[in-house]
């Protein structure tokens, strides 16, 4: 998916059904059979076709929608104002997935150039947060830590051998994407979350090496992580077909990320269930790595 717009989140990322009475609608650029490059519409969501780069296509998709779950897939905010205008003509609230690394405190100082974020992806999220706050639509921001699902990018290496090679990054409290979705469902379907910024983390700080070992434990064989220099990582990521701008942004983010012991209880406070560990995520995803 390039983004999700609708009355709730989809079932697969969230792992839980939408709240009673919610009728999820999933937006994708293509829909159909998977071998034709179409995105799969998860769960019981209604699939609609649209493109966030063409806000005019969103009018039909947004008709009848009360709440929007917005994942921004681009590295610039070029189309965001028009998309937010379209959302504002239909929906009462928007829930946006941001980054736990965003620091907006300097945005409110006289010298805003001193408050630029530490890498392009965090800067994008900070800019999106500001646009959403100014859009006039009731909003909730979910500042999520590192997604556990990022580890899916190691699947081919794990299926082929026992070593995962890639750029290293500081350890963080990696969060299961299902927990992000569970919080999003509450924010989309309940009152009381307007104007809130929630920082979402997993229950433990884990390094990339620890994540790889946890996947190894889940699949039943020892695995290890081997850090490679950024220039080597860049060459491999480009060879995999990733756009150069995205590769540069990902590497800049990995290099800029500072070690963090931040752990929040927000997932449990909002959903009533504790955040899942990375080991639990890996155990539930063994088929991805075998």
Q: How far apart are CA 143 and CA 232, in angstroms?
A: 30
Q: Is the pLDDT of residue 228 over 90?
A: no
Q: What residues does each domain of the chain span?
A: 11-205+259-289
Average pLDDT, integer, range 44-65: 88
Interacting residues of 125 by C-beta distance below 8 A, sequence separation 6+: 72, 98, 99, 102, 117, 143
Q: How far apart are CA 236 and CA 251, in angstroms?
A: 12
Whole-number pLDDT of residue 45:
79
Task: Tell me the pTM.
Answer: 0.83
Give the single-character DSSP code of 219.
H
For residue 250, name the pLDDT band (cuts at 50, 70, 90): confident
Give tens-digit pLDDT for 207-223.
Answer: 999 999 999 999 999 99
What is the residue-averaged pLDDT of the chain? 84
Whole-number pLDDT of residue 39:
53
Whole-number pLDDT of residue 19:
53
Q: Is the pLDDT of residue 1 over 60?
A: no
Q: How far apart are CA 95 and CA 88, in angstroms?
A: 13
Question: Which residue in this structure is represented by tokens 């390039």?
Answer: 2
Task: Please state the CATH superfamily assignment of the domain spanning residues 11-205+259-289 in this structure.
Answer: NAD(P)-binding Rossmann-like Domain (3.40.50.720)
Q: Which of 236, 267, 262 is nearest to 250 (CA)?
A: 236
Average pLDDT, integer, range 67-76: 93
Give tens-digit pLDDT for 135-168.
Answer: 999 999 999 999 999 999 899 999 999 999 988 8
């Amino acid at each position: 998916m390039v983004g999700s717009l609708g009355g709730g989140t989809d079932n697969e990322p969230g792992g839980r059904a939408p709240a009673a009475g919610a009728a999820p609608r999933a937006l994708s650029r293509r829909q159909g059979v998977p071998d034709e490059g179409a995105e799969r519409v998860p769960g019981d969501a209604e699939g609609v076709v649209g493109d966030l780069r063409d806000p005019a296509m969103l009018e039909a998709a947004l008709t009848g929608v009360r709440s929007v779950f917005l994942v921004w897939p681009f590295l610039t905010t070029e189309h965001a104002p028009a998309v937010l205008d379209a959302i504002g003509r239909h929906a009462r609230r928007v829930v946006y997935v941001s980054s736990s690394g965003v620091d907006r405190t300097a945005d409110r100082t006289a010298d805003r150039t001193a408050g630029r974020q530490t890498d392009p992806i965090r800067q994008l999220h900070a800019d999106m947060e500001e646009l959403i706050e100014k859009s006039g639509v009731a909003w909730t921001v979910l500042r999520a830590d590192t997604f556990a699902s990022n580890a899916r990018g190691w699947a081919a290496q794990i299926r082929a051998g026992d070593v995962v090679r890639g750029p290293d990054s500081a350890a963080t409290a990696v969060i299961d994407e299902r927990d992000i979705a569970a919080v999003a469902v509450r924010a989309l379907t309940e009152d009381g979350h307007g104007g809130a910024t929630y920082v979402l983390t997993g229950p433990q700080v884990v390094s990339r090496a620890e994540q790889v070992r946890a996947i190894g434990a889940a699949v039943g064989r020892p695995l290890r992580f081997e850090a490679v220099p950024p220039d080597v990582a860049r060459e491999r990521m480009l060879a995999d077909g990733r756009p150069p701008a995205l590769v540069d942004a990902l590497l800049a983010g990995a290099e800029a990320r500072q070690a963090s012991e931040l752990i929040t209880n927000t997932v449990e406070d909002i959903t009533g269930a504790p955040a899942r560990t990375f080991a639990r995520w890996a155990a539930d995803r063994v088929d991805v790595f075998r």
